[in-house]
Structure 1
Amino acid sequence: MRRVRGMKAAALLLAGSMALAACASDETDAGSGSGSGDGGSAAGEELMVGLAYDTGGRGDKSFNDSAYAGVEAAIEELGGEVQELSPNDDGSDRAELLTQLAEQGYDPVIGVGFAYGEIIGDIAAEYPETTFAVVDSSVTELGADNLTGLLFAEEEGSFLAGAAAALKSETGHIGFVGGVENPLIQKFEAGYVAGAQAVKPDIIIDTQYISPAGDFSGFGDPARGQIVAQGMFDAGADIVYHAAGGSGQGVFEAAAASGGRAIGVDSDQYETVGDPALQAVIMTSMLKRVDNAVESFITDYSEDAVEGGTDIVNDLSTDGVGLSTSGGQIDDIQAQIDEFKQQIIDGEIEVPAIP
């Protein structure tokens, strides 16, 4: 039977009696009906996926949910189950999450978010028979042949978001809210600013981060996200783009309160936000297809086709990033967006990854 299995927070005694706190989802069905795929590894064993989330866990309507959607799609096709774990608020237990999943026999094990990049190489070395992947962190210099990096050209998709914002802005003033000020989120900012300036060189662009480097709370604090975005709307911005995970909910709320518009990130947030009042302000979303990357990796694993020690980069040429069209708010500028996309793919526009 095909199934997706979550797990509530559990305590795990590791070496030195270290306590592990981890959050996971309740058990849910991933599919039903007659016939379940053989799935699993190349040896025909049932697929058992371990998924360690980034800050906020499943339910962020963004990055983590996209990763889960990829696992869910793979399991629907291949059969098997998934174990989900989330880090504590400060993320200090990420190594323990990966260790727990490997110890319990989950294979492959996927770390969602760049923060796992600091420790996943060590865990992969301790469990050489387990296949690991990490989203948003390069693995090429780690020397682990059982580890794959799933990367994205966020700056390319964000360039299109910036172009769309500049084309649709009525005030000539837009904003960007980042969750945590680090090189990854700065890629979103860099592309967004470049895209907006490609359309309107003198456009005013406010940029602000919710938390500094090393403080991951900026990805899970909608109240602070709302305060930051509200300041931009009050200053004259009429469109604000967020790359702030769960804090993006606050950006949407600020847009709704101000009569402005917002640009979502990672998932098609017009479809996932839930509240019609917030849905109405989401002009588009910069799609970062974590779901596709995760599903493809699991499929490769099931076919014994994973090439470890390498990075897989998802960009505009592979539709790994792009813009959503739900709601129809950018239909009138789609031709210009498509032209910019092709120029980037053809190398006519080189998008910066650093602000």
Structure 2
Amino acid sequence: MRRVSRIAVASVATAALAVTVSACGGSSSSSSAGDGKSKGIGLAYDVGGKGDQSFNDAAFSGLQKAEKDLGVSGRDIEPQDGESTADKVQRLEQLAKSGYNPIIGVGFVYAPAVKQVAAKYPKVTFGIIDDDTVQAKNVADLVFHEEQASYLAGVAAAKATKKNHIGFIGGVDIPLIHKFEAGYIQGAKSVNPKIKIESQYLTQTAEEGGFSSPDKGENATNGQIDAGADVIYHAAGLSGQGVIKAAAEHKVWAIGVDSDQYEQSALAKYKDSILTSALKNVQGAVYDLAKSVIKDGKPQTGVIRGSLDNGGVSLADSNPAFKDNADLQAALKKAEQGIKDGSIKVNAS
């Protein structure tokens, strides 16, 4: 039902944008279309869409903050199942023609579309989250050191396990998610070199549902728990909801990703099983880009990378069982300091 609803929302949003474009004249040469003036922030979601309690919802939080603090409107559009790059191009062009600036593609899959549309609308600032390959004059490549937060997640997992056996579940077998896995494994082994680690990717491609299928996440987690793991870290978007559900049902720990999943209302009944979450400040990245365009008049461009040093990545401490564990916190403090001073070099692959 959720997928049908998402497609319907996307269709309505597209139709609404088309009406707006028609009212504005419908071409990039129109004085109100793509001229750099902003009617607000445009946001186009990644696979899984809004409601994933993770990556996309973090971007939506940034849009909401921009609307509130900057006094502008925003337009956010859901993905459609099986869409092509051409579909993404059309979506971004509609936002540009409608006067939105900046326009942000949430996820690396938007890179080809952002590159194409940014060239066509040079007075509009575009953002791309989780990709640093576009590198155009009017594009901000918003990326993160996911491996650093994942290293800390690995330390936490190794400290929390009672079986010296933990797990990792990645949504899709791609280089971005390899960063999460690499940091997690390195962090866990820094605590216990002999720790056993289960590792699994749900799909080979995003089109197969690795980031959007809670059932796949649940099944994989059940398998890792059956194998003996008692702490499971996921980097799987919407599929991670299934990971957390399974962990709660088996009374083992889950570690969330991107947003503080302990605080997500849709996951409230599972929160006592969410040890922590490896955060990346997608909300802040979206807001800062919007502020740079709309308020400051000095648009961010180029590669902007979040790290432990600048607060772009971190671990959530909402769960008292995590926050009040003195031994775990001491280990995390030592690890974080090592990463920041360079004495710990975190693997990214």
Tell me the TM-score normalised to structure 2 length.
0.87
Change (3 A) 1:222 1:313: same
Aligned residue runs from structure 1 range 37-56, under 5 A: 47-56=39-48
Further displaced range: 175-184 or 268-277: 268-277
Match of 1:343 among 323, 338, 345: 338
Q: Distance in 2 between matches of 1:320 and 1:79?
A: 25
Further displaced range: 267-276 or 343-352: 267-276
Q: Distance in 2 between matches of 1:216 and 1:125?
A: 31
Tell me the secondary structure at the aligned position of residue 284 of structure 1: strand
Mind listing any 5+ residue stretches in structure 2 that lack a counterpart?
A: 1-7, 18-34
| 1:91 Cα deviation after fit | 3.6
Query: Which of structure 1's runs of 4+ aligned residues deviate more than 6 A?
Result: 20-23
Change (3 A) 1:168 1:176: same
Aligned residue runs from structure 1 range 191-202, under 5 A: 191-202=183-194
| 1:266 Cα deviation after fit | 0.5
Match of 1:256 among 241, 248, 253: 248
| 1:253 Cα deviation after fit | 1.2
Q: Distance in 2 between matches of 1:105 and 1:53?
A: 18
Match of 2:96 among 102, 109, 124: 102
Aligned 8 A contact 2:165 2:196 in 1: yes
Tell me the secondary structure at the aligned position of residue 11 of structure 2: coil
Change (3 A) 1:82 1:205: same
Question: What is the aligned length?
Answer: 319
Q: Which residue of 1 aligns with 2:209?
A: 217
For residues 21-62 of structure 1, give each alpha carbon's deviation from its aligned partner in whole angstroms, at most 9, with x where no partner exists.
Answer: 899xxxxxxxxxxxxxxxxxxx99664111000012111111
Aligned residue runs from structure 1 range 8-19, under 5 A: 8-10=9-11
Q: Distance in 2 between matches of 1:225 and 1:233?
A: 12
Aligned 8 A contact 1:47 1:79 in 2: no
For residues 126-170 of structure 1, give each alpha carbon's deviation from its aligned partner in whole angstroms, at most 9, with x where no partner exists.
Answer: 11121101001114xx45211110010000000000000001100
Q: Distance in 2 between matches of 1:280 and 1:258?
A: 12
Change (3 A) 1:116 1:203: same
| 1:9 Cα deviation after fit | 3.2
Q: Distance in 1 between matches of 2:189 and 2:205?
A: 26
Identity of aligned residues (%): 44
Q: Which residue of 1 aligns with 2:297?
A: 304
Correspondence 1:71 to 2:63: yes
Tell me the secondary structure at the aligned position of residue 66 of structure 1: helix
Correspondence 1:138 to 2:139: no
What amino acid does structure 2 have at the position aligned with 1:163? V
Aligned 8 A contact 2:54 2:259 in 1: yes
| 1:264 Cα deviation after fit | 0.3
What amino acid does structure 1 have at the position aligned with 2:341? D
What amino acid does structure 1 have at the position aligned with 2:149? G
What amino acid does structure 2 have at the position aligned with 1:190? A
Match of 2:123 among 121, 126, 129: 129
Q: Distance in 2 between matches of 1:207 and 1:46?
A: 45
Q: Distance in 2 between matches of 1:91 and 1:190?
A: 30
Tell me the secondary structure at the aligned position of residue 237 of structure 1: coil
Q: Distance in 2 between matches of 1:58 and 1:21?
A: 19
Q: Distance in 2 between matches of 1:352 and 1:21?
A: 45
What amino acid does structure 1 have at the position aligned with 2:190? A
Correspondence 1:334 to 2:329: yes
Match of 2:347 among 321, 342, 352: 352
RMSD: 2.1
Mind listing any 5+ residue stretches in structure 1 that lack a counterpart?
A: 1-6, 13-19, 24-42
| 1:215 Cα deviation after fit | 3.0
